[in-house]
Each structure stands twice: as C-alpha cells, then as structure tokens.
Structure 1
Amino acid sequence: MGTRRAPSLRRSAPVAALALVGAAGLTVAAPGTRADAAVPATIQLTVTNNSGRSEPVYLYDLGTQLSTGKQGWADAGGTFHAWPAGANPPAPAPDAAIAGPAPGTSTTIRIPKFSGRIYFSYGRKLVFKLATGGLVQPAVQNPTDPNHDILFNWSEYTLNDAGLWINSTQVDMFSAPYAVGVKAGNGTVRSTGHLKAGGYQGVYNALRARSGGWANLIQTRSDGTVLRALAPGHGIEGGALPANVMSDYVNRVWAKYANSTLAVTPFADQPNTKYFGRVSGSTMTFTNSAGAVVTSFQKPDSDSIFGCYKLLDAPNDLVRGPISRTLCAGYNRTTLLTNPNQPDTSGAGFYQDAVTNQYARTIHAQMADGNAYAFAFDDVGHHESLVNDGSPQQAYLTLDPFS
C-alpha cells in the first residue's frame, strides 16, 4: 500500500496488482496497464452490515492516488483529497470517516483508482495522524496506540487501468470478520474471506488451547470485548510470543540442507528457472542451473519468518525476491523438511510440523474456502483471500457475524 505505516505495520499483505510477478509464477498487470475494457475512474463499493452488532460503523478509504502518487483519502463519492503536510510530533489528520451501514442494511460508496485500504470500525472513529513522512496508521500491538481499544479491521485493494484486486487480510491481526467480493465484467460475483460457521470464535478458542504463548496474541478490552489476535511477528515484538518460537524448526532445516539440496522453482510458468540452495555454516547459498551463485540468506530468526522481511527480505526483482517469498512460505507452512522441491503448493502438508505458524494454521482452518492472507506471502500457491477482475463492475465488503 502507498500510505505510510507505523514501523510495526510494515508487514501488510501485498495486493497482487502491485507486484510484477507473483511468488508462485502468477503474472499480474503493473499499474497503468490497459485492460481489455476500460476501467472507469471510480466504481461502486457496497458495504453490507451483517455483523449483528448495534454500534455505528465508520468507513475510511485511504491510500495513494495512482495517477499522481499523492497520499490521501477518498470521500463517499470517490473524490480524492490529498493529506495536508504532517508534523513532528504527528498532528491529527482530517476526519475522513464515512458513515457506514446500520445493522442489516447496506451503504454504497465509490472508490477511485487507488492503492490503499478500506478501514471499518465499530462504535468509535479511528484516530489517524500525519507525520512529516505521511500517514501514521494504527499499530495496536502498542498498548498506548489511540486505536488499541477500538474494534476495527481493514481490507486492502488496488484499482487501476488493469482492473481491481481486493483482499481480506490477517497479516497484522485477526479481528472483526468480513469478506470481499467483485462483480466481474460478465456479471458473475466472486467473494472470499468468509469464515466457517463458528469460525470467529473457533480461531480464538484454538489459540487459547495452544501452549507456547499463542494465547497471548489475543487482546481483550476492559469491558470483556475480544478485540483481535495479533499476528505472531507483532507478538514477538511485544513479548507475547517467545522470540525463538520457530528456532527448532529452522535448526532442523539448516541441518537437512547442509547435506542435501533445496530446489526452488519460483515461477509456475517457467519450470526451467530453478535455483539450488545448500547450507554452509550460517549461510544458505543459492546457485542457478549453471552453478553460479545468485544470492544467499543468513539463518532466519522467527520474526524474519513471520514478517517475511529482515533476513528473508524480498525485493521486487526476478531472483532474490522470488526465492525469498518461496522460503518464507515454506517456513511458515513448515514444508521445507518434507519437500525439497519448493514451493509446495498442494496444501495437504501445510502446518503439519509441531513447530509451525499456529496463527496462520488456525485461520486457514476456519476459513470457508480455506484461503487467507495470514502472512505476507500467503499467495504462494494461490492460498490467499484475494479476488480480482480486469473489468470490475462493482466491489463488495460484507461485515460478517461475530457468532
């Protein structure tokens, strides 16, 4: 997304439209590419409130205007407003809230060509501030964040000349349930993000039942309202989850590939593009088919794995980034020991090791279609909760029941 996040929100799920090449070989259009049918300057987004909650709902459309690169917000009619200059310390941002639907009703707004987020909150407006570098977004792993006690969530989207990409995301947290959808040019509607019946409570119950600190990811308000479960990287950051929670698995991966080879074929449509990894000391080095060294990785810590950054940094290139995304998925899904040919995209063997990303495992298990964005490169193998269309007629955001 184009808006500036607080440092701890740097791991948000990538909207596929912003990547030139997806981690598992999905080629998508770069912003500005013409679609077969022209995409209008704005499209309708219908927000339906099936939550069963009585509090007022507030909506926000925040992001970067693709035609200018400016950061700002859109009003209910889809008109873009650039943020004013920020300050140090950060100053309050203009009130960008849009009144959301009452329980059992829908509200339709228009969204412009943007790369951004649709926030929604229950009961209270969110607090946004502007720093000298841009918008500071909620960082609820920080107990002093002004949004910490607000029940809210967000979807991420890109609308450009090539179409619409919109997802539900749990990369930073699991919270108020919702689903996204798009009406395609042929009139069909596709959606994703719905939980199974009982899935909302099922996620929290499963985390509470896990030993090792996973229950500590859950944040509860003083009135007893369960607000969210933090993603494990944020849990490590705040001390809720042990920093070495993935170390045993990493050690076993390191031992395995000191004596054997890990093959990575990062592009599904380029089966002859392969890289081969071997461990020596603290380094895993990758070579190409000609035997030339192309990149190397230091032994990752748990936070690097959960965030797919730091020691698993993934630049938007054609070598290191695709290898790193593949490794990130393999570590989170714990398939690197059971399959020396990555990416493993089948899903059948995901999260089977005793040491795994229990947060991602739990969320996927409770999704109606099995898809989620529980870590940044959950799109490896197309297990992400994303819908897109090149000629979108309308978008949807459904606020789902909590029970």
Structure 2
Amino acid sequence: MPARRKVLASLAAAAVAATAAVLATVSPAQAAVPTATIPITIKNNSGRAETVYLYNLGTDLASGRQGWADRNGTFRPWPAGGAVPVPAPDASFVGPANGQTLTFRLPKFSGRLYFSFGQKLNFRLATGGLVQPDFANPTDPNINILFDWSEYTLNNDGLWLNSSQVDQFAVPHAVGVKLPNGTTKSTGRLKPGGRNTFFRILREQPGGWGNLIQTRSDGTVLRAVAPGKGIAAGKLSPTILDSYITKAWNAYTGRDLVVTPFANQPGLRYYGRTSGSVMTFRNSSGQVVTSFQKPSSDAVFGCYKELDAPNDLVRGPISRTLCAALNRSTLHSNPNQPDATNANFYKDVVTNHYSRKVHGQMVDGKAYGFAFDDVGAHESLVHDGSPQHAYVTLDPFN
C-alpha cells in the first residue's frame, strides 16, 4: 500500500492479537456474556469550543465485515471501494459540547472510536477497505485536523478499551469501564499540564525528536507522530536506534537470552543466541523454533518487518517480547525477558524517547507508546468480562 496506509481490517486483527494474552487470563467466573450492545458515555472536558464529531469504525465480529456503527449501535457495512480510493459515506455524528456528555451504544465490534475537533474527517475506501489517515503524507486530507481515537473490542468475552498513542499523541483522553459491582476502572489520564509538558520536553530531547511535532498554520499544536511515522516522513533519522539494537543483539553471542512469553506459563521458555546478524531461538528441548534478523530502527518502532509477530503461540509472542525490550532499552542489560519492572525501562540514552515521555506524563504511568506496550501490562487498557457501561473523557488541553 502506498505511503504505508493501513486498512481497518489489519488494525482490527492487530487489536485482537494485542489482547490475546489478556483473553487467556479471563476466568469463567468473570464471564457473563455482554448483551448485543452496551452504553458508552463521552464526556467533553477539553475546554475547547469547536464542535466534536464522533465515529465508530471497525469490523463487525458477527459477519467479519468492515463498516461503521450509528448512535444506536446498528452496524452498517461499507460499500465497495476503488483502486483509486473513493469517498466513504459520512459516518459521523455530533458529540458533546464542552462541559457536556453524550451516551450512545457500542456493538460487538473491533475498531476505533474517532473524535475530531472543528471539522469532519475525510475517510476514503480502497479495494482493501477503509484508508486510515497518514501522518507521514503532508497532502493527507486530515493532516490539519485535530483528532484522535480510542480502540476497543467488545465480544462475548467482554470489553477491551484503550487510549492509544501507537500512531500519535494528540488529544488527551481517558477510558473507563463500569463493572457489575458498580465500581469503575479507568486509565489514560494525563497529569495536570501533561499535554503541554509532553510537547515541551519532546522538543528539548536531542536527536531531532521535536521534529515529530506537527503544528497547524494557526499555531495549534496538533500532535506528535510516533517515531516510525516520523521516519517515514523524513523527520527522524532511520538509524536513530541502531547503536542500541546492535549492542543488544551482540550481547547474546556468548550467553542465552531467556524469553518467558506468557506470564501464566512460567515454565515455557525460549532461549536465544546471536550468530552474526541472526538471533535463533530454541525450546527447552534444544529444537530451533524461530529466528530473527537484526531489526532496523523502524522495525523496532513498528514491531513489524524483521520483528513480524504472527498471531501464533511461538514466533509472535517471542517477537512481541523482543519488540518491547528494544523499545524500552532493557534487552542489552537483562537476559531474562520480559523485564519484570518498569523501573528499568528507557534507561539507555538511546531509546524510544517518544514512548518514554508519553508514559512519564500519565497519572498511572500506563500508555500505549508502541504497538506491543501491553507486554507486561504497561498499556492504558481497561477490561471487564461483563461490562455495564464504557466511558471516554476528553480531558483539558493544558
């Protein structure tokens, strides 16, 4: 796909894969099958006067078709796209004004809840499905719109809802879910002044990290794009992590890297050794199970290419663990992965400073700073097997 555009089908598949480890830990006692739809309330505490437009876009889990859902939670499939992407039907509805709330319904779905300020988003349909906004393309029709999204999956096993910074840091927002006992779990809230602080300290980070920030001609700071998007746009060096990757890769020429990919299976381990540029993993019987070429900086930021992570039980979990350790710069120092404590994260001078700074501005320290930030449960995710109500709060822009 040109300009690294993604269709929503691949996004939904990644979202489901990212929650697989959580799904595996859900006990039958938790599982009361959710109804066909559940309510979600959007609260606008942004302090901004612009109209907010909402979208619920994704994959209907019953049919596997892509489309959108209206305010009642009714699924509507997309029409066919074109080789040259064609305009998608207007799936938006007006959200709450500043200080107000709006409640609508979530269907059993896997996708994104978009919210844009002051302007509707321009979505198009290709032959493969919905074309996502492309932050690396300066001519993308959405590049000058202030917008963001939360990601969710609602299925028979419950609700998974997260605030995501995997692609950009833009609109401060928190997510929550009400449990059957009446309590609410929430995450994703920035510290007071966290948005402005994040942009300031990202600009101050040596190495061109401030180039990730995109500002509109009227002075509005729209977003900081994730490092992989910055590399694609020519705003960040494509070798920015290379020295750390090489150091970490070479640390296992004479000793084993021990990967324990599942927290609930501590006896299942894989052992990695490097020879040249290849790290090969064996199981406890000494059989080769998979191998990885030394990844590029872009592959580490995106957790793809050399670090491809299929939705299987061997290569995918090992790749996820490697990706997390390289982004957090723990692979060189700790031969037992994943690292058990976030106190060791981002200590090397060469690291994913974007993710480091996002986590640093969160009240609870949790964020989705890269695709597999859920390794070790450090992501901004709420889950319940019998959700009663979901919440997204658009927080102040300060």
Q: So what's the TM-score if we normalise by structure 1? A: 0.94
Of 272, 276, 299, which residue of structure 2 is paired with 1:277? 272
Separation of aligned partners in 2, 1:79 and 1:291: 52
Contact 1:190 1:387 in 2 (8 A): yes
Q: From the superposition, tell whether residues 340 and 188 of structure 1 become closer, same or farther in structure 2 (CA, over 3 Å).
A: same
Alignment of 1:360-371 (within 5 A): 360-371=355-366
Separation of aligned partners in 2, 1:16 and 1:7: 18
Partner of 2:163: 168
SS in 2 for 1:153: strand
Partner amino acid, structure 2, of 1:7 = R
Contact 2:249 2:332 in 1 (8 A): no
Partner of 1:194: 189
Deviations 1:154-202 (A, max 9, x none): 0000111111110000000000111111001111111111000111111
Of 135, 144, 152, which residue of structure 2 is paired with 1:157? 152
SS in 1 for 2:344: coil
Separation of aligned partners in 1, 2:293 and 2:43: 46
Contact 1:275 1:288 in 2 (8 A): yes
Partner of 1:262: 257
Separation of aligned partners in 2, 1:18 and 1:286: 22
Partner of 1:384: 379
Report the more deviating stretch, 83-92 or 174-183. 83-92
Asked if residue 7 in structure 1 is aligned to residue 4 in structure 2, the reply is: yes
Alignment of 1:198-277 (within 5 A): 198-277=193-272
Q: From the superposition, tell whether residues 13 and 309 of structure 1 become closer, same or farther in structure 2 (CA, over 3 Å).
A: farther
Asked if residue 72 in structure 1 is aligned to residue 72 in structure 2, the reply is: no
Partner amino acid, structure 2, of 1:163 = G
Alignment of 1:10-29 (within 5 A): 17-18=16-17, 21-22=20-21, 27=24
Separation of aligned partners in 2, 1:356 and 1:13: 28
Partner of 1:44: 39
Query: How many pairs are equivalent?
Result: 396
Alignment of 1:286-365 (within 5 A): 286-365=281-360
Separation of aligned partners in 1, 2:264 and 2:359: 26
Q: From the superposition, tell whether residues 132 and 21 of structure 1 become closer, same or farther in structure 2 (CA, over 3 Å).
A: closer
SS in 2 for 1:348: helix
Contact 2:15 2:110 in 1 (8 A): no
SS in 2 for 1:38: coil
Q: State the percentage of identical aligned residues.
A: 62
Superposition RMSD in Å: 2.1
Contact 1:181 1:191 in 2 (8 A): yes
Partner amino acid, structure 2, of 1:297 = F
SS in 2 for 1:170: coil
Partner amino acid, structure 2, of 1:168 = S
Contact 2:12 2:58 in 1 (8 A): no
Q: Could you tell me how far 1:7 is from its partner in structure 2?
A: 3.0
Separation of aligned partners in 2, 1:233 and 1:103: 33
Separation of aligned partners in 1, 2:20 and 2:87: 37
Q: From the superposition, tell whether residues 267 and 36 of structure 1 become closer, same or farther in structure 2 (CA, over 3 Å).
A: closer
Contact 1:168 1:193 in 2 (8 A): yes
